[in-house]
């Protein structure tokens, strides 16, 4: 189970699509059939792609649930997930799985996996991409809403995680949080680099066109978790006409970002709707800097954004406004990266104004270490060991 799957554009899709195909490939010789439950592309209202409700690719059967149109707001997402939850339960009525695997960032896909595994009295293997209770605790400002919501979420989390046989954590920063769950095998198969990004390390990319203005590119979700409205407009204003931000994506705080751009009357911030990965690679190639940012919330000190693995395949300096585990990881693993405190406009602006480094960038060691295919091969063996 994964809420997002190809051809959707998001970290969940990029992680679980190749993992599913590797799982099916390794399972085929053991006469194992895999039913995959996901949704039709829905991550962004401004991006659509054709996909079938049902696909059968040898021993992999893909069931896609059509969701109501939504704008990525919290209420919209609750209704969307409830629809997915109900439909997947219907599709599994009378069925009995030997193993349930669920990849989840918002807890509820994991909870759905728990419900189906419990009904089947089967094993449950979870892949946890975010600590949802932690994140919600930071994002919700209303004390009343927190007091109503968090006990319910913690109960769901407790029931789900304690039932699991195996939990994979994509970030080592989650380790301390999961010590409270007993009798569970824990692994740390992280995100990785997809095959289509491996060739980006080629030195031929040095031939990318030179920009009149230094171009800083961000592509991805525009939500409260990224907090771009807190860092980009003010930075663009202070950097002036020598620099240009290109922001590609959509999400719940896009209008906040637009408002700040308009308030400051900025001409050096360009907003574009989401594009496919092939087009995105061309944009990255012609950038001067690649940008990554997480909001300044305590929960985000534990995470490890999948975007790191994508950006590191390009021979471009990376600007990373992150803290905690992510900051340590990038500092240690990704050369030619500048890590600054989230939302620290002055730190980012000072670095860019003083930047004068034209040396070549070699991240081959990182690329070889974090190939998605290698990680998926090892994780698939772990999953199938329970069947």
The string of DSSP codes covering 196-230 is HHHGGGSGGGGGSPPPSSEEEEEEEE-STTT-GGG
Cis peptide before 7 (omega within 30 of 0): yes
Region at 336 (left for phi over 0; alpha for psi -120 to 50; beta for the rest)? left
Structure tokens that stand for 69 in this block? 């149109």
Share of the chain above pLDDT 90, in %: 81
Please give the pLDDT value at position 337. 96
Q: Would you state the pLDDT for residue 29?
A: 95
- How does pLDDT run across 115-138, given as a tens digit for each residue? 999 999 999 999 999 999 999 998
- What is the structure's pLDDT at 202? 53
Q: Let me know: does 367 contact 312? Beta carbons within 8 Å.
A: yes
As a whole number of angstroms, the distance between CA 195 and CA 281 comes to 13
| Token pair of 343 as six digits | 């939302």
Closest CA to 285 of 314, 312, 307, 309: 314
Which contiguous run of DSSP H or E holds residue 124? strand 123-128
Q: How far apart are CA 358 and CA 363, in angstroms?
A: 15
- pLDDT of 84 over the 80 cut: yes
Nearest-CA neighbor of 39 among 108, 126, 100?
A: 108
| Cα dihedral value 247, 252, 257, 263, nearest 10 | 150
Domains of the chain: 11-192+371-384 (3.40.50.2000), 195-369 (3.40.50.2000)
Mean pLDDT in the chain? 92
- Enumerate the H helices of the chain as residue ranges: 11-28, 74-91, 108-120, 132-139, 143-163, 195-198, 232-239, 254-263, 277-285, 307-311, 325-333, 345-354, 364-369, 372-384
Give me the pLDDT at residue 1, please: 97
Position 72 scores a pLDDT of 58
pLDDT (tens digit per residue) in 312-335 = 999 999 999 999 999 999 999 999
Checking if the pLDDT of 46 tops 70, the result is no
Separation in Å, CA 101 to CA 159, 165, 241, 385: 16, 11, 50, 12
pLDDT digit string (tens) for 160-211? Answer: 999 999 999 999 999 999 998 888 999 999 999 998 888 765 544 444 556 7
- Of the candidate ranges 64-68, 345-349, 350-354, the one whose mean pLDDT is the lowest: 64-68
Strand order in the sheet with 54-57: 34-39, 60-65, 54-57
Output the pTM of the full model. Answer: 0.90
Give me 330's structure tokens.
């990038």
Helices 143-163 and 108-120, interaxial angle, to 10°? 40
366 contacts: CB under 8 Å, gap ≥ 6? 312, 333, 334, 335
The answer, yes or no, to whether residue 47 has pLDDT greater than 80, is no
Span 238-284, pLDDT tens digits: 999 999 999 999 988 999 999 999 999 999 999 999 998 889 999 99
67 against 328, higher pLDDT: 328
- Predicted pLDDT of residue 71: 60
What's the rounded mean pLDDT across residues 32-48?
Answer: 79
Q: Which two tokens stand for residue 14?
A: 């990029």
293 vs 233: CA distance, rounded Å? 13
Tokens at residue 135, please?
């994140």
Could you give the CA distance from residue 149 to residue 357 in angstroms, rounded to a whole number?
49
Structure tokens at 239: 């950097």
**Cβ(287)–Cβ(302) under 8 Å?**
no
Look at residue 370 in the predicted model and tell me its pLDDT. Answer: 96
Strand ranges of the sheet holding 214-221, from the earlier edge strand across to the other edge: 269-272, 243-250, 214-221, 289-293, 318-321, 337-340
Between 150 and 203, where is the model more confident? 150
Q: How many CA atoms lie within 13 A of 211 on its CB side?
A: 18
């Amino acid at each position: 189970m994964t809420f997002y799957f190809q051809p959707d554009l998001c970290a969940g899709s990029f992680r679980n699509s190749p993992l599913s195909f590797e799982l099916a490939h390794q399972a085929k010789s053991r006469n194992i059939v895999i039913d995959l439950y996901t949704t039709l592309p829905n991550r962004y209202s401004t991006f659509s792609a054709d996909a079938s409700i049902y696909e059968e690719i040898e021993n992999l059967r893909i069931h896609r649930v059509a969701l109501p149109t939504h704008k990525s707001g919290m209420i919209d997402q609750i209704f969307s997930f409830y629809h997915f939850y109900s439909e997947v339960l219907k599709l599994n009525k009378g069925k009995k799985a030997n193993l349930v695997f669920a990849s989840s960032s918002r807890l509820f896909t994991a909870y759905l996996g728990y419900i189906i595994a419990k009904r089947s009295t089967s094993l449950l293997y979870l892949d946890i991409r975010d600590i949802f209770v932690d994140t919600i605790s930071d994002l919700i400002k209303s004390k009343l809403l927190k007091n109503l919501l968090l006990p319910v979420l913690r109960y769901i989390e407790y029931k789900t995680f304690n039932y699991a046989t195996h939990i994979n954590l994509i970030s080592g920063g989650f380790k301390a949080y999961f010590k409270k769950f007993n009798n569970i095998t824990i692994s740390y198969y992280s995100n990785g680099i997809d095959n289509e990004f491996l060739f980006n390390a080629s030195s031929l990319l040095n031939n990318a066109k030179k920009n009149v203005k230094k171009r800083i590119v961000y592509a991805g979700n525009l939500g409260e978790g990224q907090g771009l409205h807190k860092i980009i407009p003010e930075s663009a204003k202070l950097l002036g006409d020598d620099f240009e931000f290109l922001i590609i994506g959509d999400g719940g705080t896009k209008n906040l970002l637009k408002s700040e751009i308009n308030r400051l009357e900025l001409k050096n911030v360009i907003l574009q709707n989401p594009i496919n990965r092939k087009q995105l690679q061309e944009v990255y190639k012609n950038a001067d800097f690649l940008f990554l940012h997480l909001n300044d919330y305590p929960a985000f000190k534990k995470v490890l954004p999948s975007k790191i693995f994508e950006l590191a395949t390009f021979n471009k300096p990376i600007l990373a406004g992150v803290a905690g585990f992510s900051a340590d990881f990038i500092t240690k693993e990704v050369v030619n990266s500048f890590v600054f405190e989230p939302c620290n406009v002055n730190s980012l602006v000072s670095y860019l104004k003083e930047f004068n480094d034209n040396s070549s960038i070699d991240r081959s060691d990182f690329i070889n270490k974090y190939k998605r295919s290698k990680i998926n091969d090892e994780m698939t063996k772990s999953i199938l060991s329970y069947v």
